[in-house]
Each structure stands twice: as C-alpha cells, then as structure tokens.
Amino acid sequence: MSSSKVPQSSSDTVLTDPVRYPVSASHPVRKKRAFLLILLTLLVPGSAQLVAGNRRLGRAALRVTLSAWTVLLVAILLLVINRTLLLGIVTNPFASLAIVVVLVALAAGWAILFINTLRLIRPVLLTPPTRPAVVVTLVLALVLGSGSLGYAAYLLNVSRNAIGSIFSSGPAIDPVDGRYNFLMMGGDAGEDRTGRRPDSLSVLSVDAETGQTAIISVPRNLQNAQFSEDSPMRSIYPDGYNCGDECLINAINTEVTNEYADLYPGVADPGAQATMEAVSGTLGLDIQAYVLVDMQGFASLIDAMGGIRIKAGGWVPMSGYFDDFSQTHGMPLGWIPAGEQTLDGNQALWYGRSREYVDDYSRIQRQQCVQQAMLKQLDPATLLARFEDIANAGTKVVESNISSTQLGSFVDLAIKAKGTEAKRLTIGPPDFDAAFSTTPDFDQIHERVDELIASASGGGESAGFPDDVLAAPDAGTGHLRAAAVSPAVLPAGGSTIRQTTPPDFTPVTTTPDGEPITAELLTQLKLEGNEEAIRQLVATNGQCAAL
C-alpha cells in the first residue's frame, strides 16, 4: 500500500511564519526577529504591527507616518524655495502651538508603538542573555525616536514663550523706501539710576530684500535732539530737546516715563517710544520699531551663549565706585586685557559700558564689537546646544515692540545679512567732531545718513566706516598709537583727529619702554594717583574685532 504525502494547508503555512508566529522558530531566528521589529518601529513606525501584530493598528500608524514624512518634505522644500514663509509659520504663536500639539501627539503615539512592539517580541521566548540586550535596544530606539519628537516640542514651546514675552502682538510693519529701520537701545536700570536710561543707541537699517545693513550709532550725550513730526513730545519741545546739560538724548526715556506717559495711551513703554521718535527726528529717518536690551540682564545672555570671543585693542577697566569729591573712579574691580579674549557675561557687560580714561566714542566702538561678536557666534550649533538657556535669558534681557507675527521674515533677513558687510556711521568721532554732540548740525546729519543709506543700498560710497574698520585715538593728543595704524586724517569742519585701523590691528600690550602692561602695573599706577599714565596706556581700548 503506497503512502501519499498530505499537502499543507495555507493556514499551516501561516502558523509557521516566524515573524508573526515565533513560537515555532529557533532561538537565533527569534533574536533576529526581535531586533528587526525594533528597527522597523524606529524607521517606519507602524510597519512592525503590520507584519507581526494588529494590521489595523499598523495601517493607521503607517498613514500617520506617511503624512508626517510628507509634511517634513514640504518643510524642506519651503526651506529651499521660501524660507521666509517657513520661519513665519514656526514663529507664529498659533501655528507654533499647533505644531507643539502635533509633535506631542506623534511622540506619544510613537511611544505606544514601541511598547506594542515589545509585546510582539514576547521577551519570554528569548534566551535569558538576549532579553536585556533587546530591552535596552528598544529603550534607546524609543528615546531616539519618540524622545526626539518630545524634546523638539519642548524646545518649540520654550521658543513660543520667549517670543510671547519679548515681542508684541501688534500689527506688522511695512518697509520704508525698501528698508526696515530698528532702534537698538542698551538700557541700564542700576541702583544708582532713576528709571531705565539707554546708554547706547544704534539704528539698524536693513534692506528688505537683501538684508544689507547700515548701523548708525548715536551718542548718549547728544543734545537738542529733534522729535519726529508725529511725536506727541514735539508739542512739549518744538525746538528740540533743549533744557541745558540735563537734556541729553538718553534722559528722554526717564522723563517721558515719569512725566509724560499720558501722552502715549495704550503704549507699553512710552519712554522707549519717545526715545525712538527722538532718534528718528534727529537722523531724519523713519524708524519703525525698537529693541531694548537691559544691560543688567545682559550678562546672563552672554553666559548662556558660552561667552563671546574678541580681539581687544587695549586694556579696559572694570570700573569701581565713583568718588564725587575727586570726580574719579575708585580702584577698578578688575581689568580686561588687550589681545584675544573670551569674555564671560560680567566681563562683556563691563567691556561694553566702561568709559573711564577714554571718551564715549571708544565705548560705542566696543559696544558695536560686542554686538558683532554675539551675532557672529550665535551660530546654529551654539543655538541648538544652548537653546533653552539663551531663550530664558532673552526673556529677561530683551523687550521690543516688533510684532511676533513678523519675526520669521526678520529672522530670514538676519540670516541674509550675516554674510554681508555692514556700513557704519557714528554721530561723533570718528565721523564728526567731538563737540558735535553738544551743538549738532541736523542738516549735516541728515545728509550723512542719506549717503550711508544709499551706500548700503548699492547706490554709492559709504558715509561711514565698513564693518571691520574701527577708529583709533591719535598719538598727537597724548594717546598711544597702535602698530600698523594709518596716518591721521582731519575731518572737514572739525578738529578731532580721525584715523582708521585695519582689521589686523595690533593690540597695545606694552608700555613705550617695552615693559608688558599688566593688571599689577595698572593697579600700581592707580594707587600712585597717576591717572594720566593709565590714560596713555589704555587709550586704544576702543579698537576691537569680533573673532
């Protein structure tokens, strides 16, 4: 009697499928299956369920995965062809909230799939040495996948909160003559100050298409500032802010805050608004928005960035108390040396605010250098590595009336401007006489500003220095001259010596006798009361370059 082989049914074939039914599989196959399912869940969420578990769950997860990939592809395309739109979406408060919610949901769903994958693996079927390796691998994959989405949602939410705290919810602004003009103020509200007084004023004029930037520095001690025609303060000071030596441009913020806030109903910061109107009228430039940086909190932002790198042209004192009787500062709290330095927040704060032994214009140059260093060193790697600290510090440091809905387009302009050379003009030395801030010629200011804007728009020569050129004090006035300084030039209509310094200027690190300048030497001169000798040695501390 012959025997015949009974063919296997399709159901028997399915039951022997080692992926879906691992019971009948060997231990090596079960091990490979476990790692394969983890890899599938990490790379294509839902595919593990489709081949080894609940097919309905797998199909639903795959649809979500494909949708997420499509959105990611669209985002990449926008990054290439319309970066402004993408940045606008990410920085928009409502759109960013929706993105946060979606990322949290995706992270939670992905985590559920990993847990379900662990159930599909059935660790009890694995050999004891294999189980820990599989569990650890799955946890690492979960952290890499779901955890990354959750962390991205967290960072985006931190960004949302920072944007909401710093920027306004007002309407967007339009460019004027193809440019956006922003007033940057460094405000100091120290214990010895009444109100927050801006000690540094700079206007950033940015081409709305190319990002080409012009920077105009206004000295804090400018007198007779002219308010713009639409300013409520023009009715109080129709002929300019002129009430004697007390009416410096940086006093407007405090005076308006304390006495004329009722002229600005509904304005969040009347003092800052009035200061912006004064700078606008003085320069003959329509300034649309302001950014105010609190110098007392400035140090925390620098620390959050990990410090800034500069090349300092001369030693800078971290000034001590001010003696009203002798009208001199006390012993400095410390010194910032000449040469290449990495400044922490406290050092950077003093570097930008110290004006002992030199004039305000040396300080302006150092402030500009600090700004350049921050912009240059706030690269994507630094931003990602220190994002939370930088965002949290920013909420304590920065205040602005720029609309949050327009932030994306301005970030895009900043990216464009990063590789371009900024044009510069200072309403004082080296571009004007030192006495100019006391008796300014506003027609001349307007003419020079127009020239600068034209040069920054590709229409002519620069009215000021390019980004990498700074002014140096002249040896003829009793100051030391740095090596490689070009011959002095006398500007038209003034007596102040003006000279430029090449980007590769040599920091002054020795005395005229060749003795190294040290903190000990400067301290000894201070103890001896030899202020003039110190002034000679630190005269070039306005020179600075961002590294």
Query: pLDDT, tens digit, for every residue of 167-199?
Result: 666 667 778 888 888 888 876 555 544 445 666
Bridging pattern class, strands 308-312 and 328-329: unpaired
Q: Phi/psi at 306 (nearest 5 deg)?
A: 85, 20
Question: Which pLDDT score, from 0 to 100, does residue 211 have?
Answer: 78
Q: Residues 486, 503: contact at Cβ < 8 Å?
A: no
Assess if residue 9 is contained within a domain.
Answer: no
Query: pLDDT, tens digit, for every residue of 259-289?
Result: 888 899 988 788 888 989 999 999 988 888 8
Assess if residue 173 is contained within a domain.
Answer: no
SS3 for 347? helix
Q: 247 and 375 share a domain? A: yes
Assess if residue 316 is contained within a domain.
Answer: yes
- Mean pLDDT, rounded, of the chain: 77
Q: 71 and 140 share a domain? A: yes
Residue where a domain terminates, one of 111, 137, 166:
166
Q: 377 and 444 share a domain? A: yes
**When comparing pLDDT for 480 and 379, which is higher?**
379
User: Span 59-83, mean pLDDT?
Assistant: 91
504 band by pLDDT with thresholds 50, 70 and 90: confident
Residue where a domain terminates, one of 131, 166, 201:
166
Question: Which pLDDT score, from 0 to 100, does residue 113 have?
Answer: 94
Say how far apart CA 117 and CA 174 lie, in whole Å.
53
Say how far apart CA 526 and CA 328 lie, in whole Å.
11
Q: 359 and 465 share a domain? A: yes
Q: Is the pLDDT of residue 129 over 80?
A: yes
Give, for 442, the enclosing helix (H) or strand (E): helix 442-456
Assess if residue 1 is contained within a domain.
Answer: no
Assess if residue 343 is contained within a domain.
Answer: yes
And the tokens for 206?
């940015």
Q: Is the pLDDT of residue 295 over 50?
A: yes
Bridging pattern class, strands 500-501 and 339-343: unpaired
Q: What is the residue whose two structure tokens read 């921050």?
A: 374
Question: Which pLDDT score, from 0 to 100, does residue 35 have?
Answer: 92
Residue where a domain terminates, one of 102, 137, 166:
166
Q: What is the residue whose two structure tokens read 């300019």?
A: 240
User: Span 222-230, mean pLDDT?
Assistant: 87
- Number of structural domains, the chain? 2
**When comparing pLDDT for 138 and 23, which is higher?**
138
Q: Is the pLDDT of residue 491 over 50?
A: no
Q: 193 and 64 share a domain? A: no
Tell me, yes or no, if the pTM score tops 0.75: no
Q: 325 and 433 share a domain? A: yes
166 band by pLDDT with thresholds 50, 70 and 90: low
134 band by pLDDT with thresholds 50, 70 and 90: very high
495 band by pLDDT with thresholds 50, 70 and 90: very low
Q: 262 and 393 share a domain? A: yes
Q: 147 and 261 share a domain? A: no
Domain span at 129: 15-166
Query: pLDDT, tens digit, for every residue of 314-366?
Result: 888 887 666 666 666 677 888 888 888 888 888 888 888 787 888 777 877 78
Assess if residue 290 is contained within a domain.
Answer: yes
Q: Residues 294, 280: contact at Cβ < 8 Å?
A: no
Percent of the chain with pLDDT over 70: 75
Q: 110 and 235 share a domain? A: no
Q: Is the pLDDT of residue 391 over 80?
A: no
Report how far apart, in Å, the C-alpha atoms of 293 and of each of 247, 393, 454 are: 22, 11, 28
- CATH for 256: 3.40.630.190
Q: Is the pLDDT of residue 142 over 90?
A: yes
Assess if residue 171 is contained within a domain.
Answer: no
Q: Is the pLDDT of residue 207 over 60?
A: yes
Per DSSP, the residues of 353-411 read H--TTS-HHHHHHHHHHHHHHHHHH--HHHHHHTHHHHHHHHHHHEEE-SBGGGHHHHH
Q: 139 and 63 share a domain? A: yes
Assess if residue 287 is contained within a domain.
Answer: yes
Say how far apart CA 542 and CA 480 lie, in whole Å.
12
What Rg, from alpha-carbon coordinates, does the chain have? 32
User: Span 67-87, mean pLDDT?
Assistant: 87
Amino acid at 214: A
Q: 471 and 324 share a domain? A: yes
Question: Which pLDDT score, from 0 to 100, does residue 165 have?
Answer: 66
Q: 294 and 213 share a domain? A: yes
Q: Residues 113, 48: contact at Cβ < 8 Å?
A: yes
